[in-house]
Amino acid sequence: MTYPFGPLAASLDETSDEAFAAYAADSQAPAGQRVGVLLLHGFTGSPTSMARWARVFADAGYSVRLPLLPGHGTTPEDMALSTREQWISAADAAYDELDAHCDRVFIAGLSMGGALALNLAARKRPAGVVVVNPGLVVDQKIAALAPVLRHVMKFVPSIGDNIAKEGVTERGYDRTPVASVAHLWRLFKSTRDLLPSIACDVLALISDRDSVVSPASLAALRTGVPEDRLTVERLARSFHVATMDHDAEQIFASSIAFVKARSESEA
């Protein structure tokens, strides 16, 4: 298989500040053939986890937006002040920016970014959605008590850098704000309720060895999205942050094929 690595993706240093920052690229395709891809990173993470993937799409000739979500990329204390409404609003704004000049828009997300992608898809009608280890269920029942616990417990240990490949970091936070867990729980619940409204195809790439998101989230996705709309592909060698792990090239190849097929069929 030939993987879709072009010069932007191949030359990126994932440890650089460039990879850590928000990213945008605009297609030079003629009117009627402009395709946009919105990428959304995960909870307590950063654009680093999606940086190479974003450039793979740009190398393929698509317009790309990879925003830094509110409360991320600074400090855990800042994140504790951000809300799910702000995360959704930022994703909406990036989608609307692409939608204003593209003929078709796709959404891709990792983990919480996957939940945001699905949430958007139920409301915005994109051409398709690609999610990698999307979160839809917080398994720890104590998470429901986070709105109360945050007053006595500000932080819990980090969930970041769950990556099988040695020496790789997504440059996320070293602590998780309990206040943010409360917003995550509500985001997941509201997104589960919206899943039956998704009218486009969904490609879900799921790691076999994910210690952050359990199989309950995939079960929720299967329950909510019609069977004829959902394709599940397994990632055998990666942990949670699979976009930076051993199966990253599989993700890139499968997502490019998914977008290309649905762009050409609607052209």
Where in the sequence numbering do the catalytic residues fall? 111, 210, 240
Report yes or no: 11 and 59 within 8 Å, Cβ to Cβ.
no
One-letter amino acid of 16: S
Dist CA 173 CA 196 (whole Å): 33
The answer to whether 160 touches 113, Cβ cutoff 8 Å, is no
DSSP track, 55-118? HHHHHTT-EEEEPPPTT-SS-HHHHHT--HHHHHHHHHHHHHHHHHH-SEEEEEEETHHHHHHH
Closest CA to 14 of 243, 184, 216, 225: 243
Q: Cβ distance 202 to 225 under 8 Å?
A: yes
Q: Whole-angstrom Cα distance, residue 133 to residue 42?
A: 10
Residues in the chain: 267
State phi, psi for 40 to the nearest 5 degrees.
-130, 125
